[in-house]
Every structure is written in structure tokens, then in C-alpha cells.
A and B are shown apart, each in its own frame.
Chain A
């Protein structure tokens, strides 16, 4: 059973703190993604990585950075948490070589609900 695991389900942090969100996948996927999900806005891409140590900014990278030192692990870092970063964060992975009708199918983690106070 394929799996994407996020380190925390719920997290409460203070304004100004440095926050690490960890994500691990066991499917040997090349691609990994960080999204944030807010009501009415859908899933917005923060950062994308297509290989170890390779990263690309998504649509809303401001205030975030990422790290991918190993293929299976993709970390999202909030350099200095702010209240407007309170959100649901979803990690996902996908293969670059698909099988049949599942090319680039994204597998999501369970999400981390982050509250910044």
C-alpha cells in the first residue's frame, strides 16, 4: 500500500518561530510537492521538487523554503511563521513515468493543520 506520511497532523506555533514540516514517501517517486489548502482557494503549489536537491518555486513560495536531501523526504520550512500562514499543508508525490491512465497521479499525505498564534 503506497504511502505519503507527514510528520504531524496538527501543529500550533508562535509568530516568528521557524517551523519544519516533514514528508516521507515510500514509493520511490521522483516528484514531490508541497501545497497549502485554504477554503475557496483549492490547492496552491508552494514548492516542487523533481529530484534530490532539485527544487522549483510554485505559485506562492514567499515565506517558505524546502529541502530535499534524500529522494524519499521533502521538508517544508517556514522561516519565520506568521499568522497568515495558518493553513492546511498537504504533501504529495508522483511518478514521472506513469502506468496506463495514471501518469503523474499524485499521492497525498494526510495533511498538517498548522495554526500560528
Chain B
């Protein structure tokens, strides 16, 4: 079945630094979504990418979908303490709307 791998599993970042988390699928994805889960919270939708090579920005967050639609990345610029949490990517598994989640990247930010 479809596998979605996410690296790194854990990221320790100094405030102000940039970092990137990566998502790789064993199969071509029609759609990839990114979610953020704050400590003690639940996953919240950030963005969806659909087109090959698509790049979308949300303030300091840049999301990219690979040309082959098998990988994606999230790049955060000038990390802030509000960026703390776990970031999940999720690939659409079928036309019913089932998602295959990666294991997540847990981000810790030190001032």
C-alpha cells in the first residue's frame, strides 16, 4: 500500500533559523496536504498542493510539491517560538478522501 515517509522525525531549531521538513511517497499523489499540531492540540489543516511543481507560501512557510508528485517539502524561514509543534504531511489515498499521514516532524524552538 501507499507509504508516506517524513523526515526528520525531530527538529531542534534556534529561533531565527530556517529549517525544512520533507515528505516522500512510494506512489504518485494526486494531492498532498500539510497539517500542524500544537503541543496538547489536534492537527489543523495548513495547505493543500495539487499541481506538479506547485509552490505556495503562507507568510514564513513555503510549501512545495515535487515535479513527479511523489514528494513535498515545508520550509520555515526565521523560525519563531509560535512554530513549535508537529507538522504532518498527508497524501490523498483515494477518491473518497482517505488520507495517508506521515509520522510527522516534531519541531522544538529554543529562544
Contact = CB atoms under 8 A, between A and B. Distances in A.
A109 B42 contact: yes
Most A-side CB within 10 Å, residue of B43, B44, B50, B88? B43
Interface in A12-69: 31, 33, 35, 40-45, 48, 50, 56, 58-59
A104 B101 contact: no
Interface in B33-75: 33, 35, 41-45, 47-48, 50
Q: How large is the interface on A (under 10, 10 to 19, 20 to 34, 35 or more residues)?
A: 20 to 34
A50 B96 contact: yes
A21 to B, nearest CB: 14
B92 interface: yes
Contacts of A94: 97
A40 B103 contact: yes
B103 A105 contact: no
Given A31-B96, A31-B97, A42-B103, A104 B31 contact: yes
A50 B94 CA distance: 12
Contact of A107 (B41, B45, B47, B50): B45
Contacts of B35: 106
B102 interface: yes
Contact of B43 (A90, A96, A103): A90
Given A31-B97, A96-B97, A101-B50, A108 B104 contact: no
A102 interface: yes
Q: Which of A50, A59, A108 has the most CB of B within 10 A?
A: A108
Contacts of B1: 59
A115 interface: no
Interface of B: 1, 6, 9, 31, 33, 35, 41-45, 47-48, 50, 88, 90, 92, 96-99, 101-104
14 contacts: A42-B6, A43-B88, A45-B98, A48-B96, A56-B96, A90-B42, A96-B96, A101-B47, A101-B48, A102-B48, A103-B31, A104-B31, A105-B48, A106-B35
The 5 closest A-B pairs by CB, nearest first: A42-B103, A104-B97, A108-B42, A43-B101, A42-B101
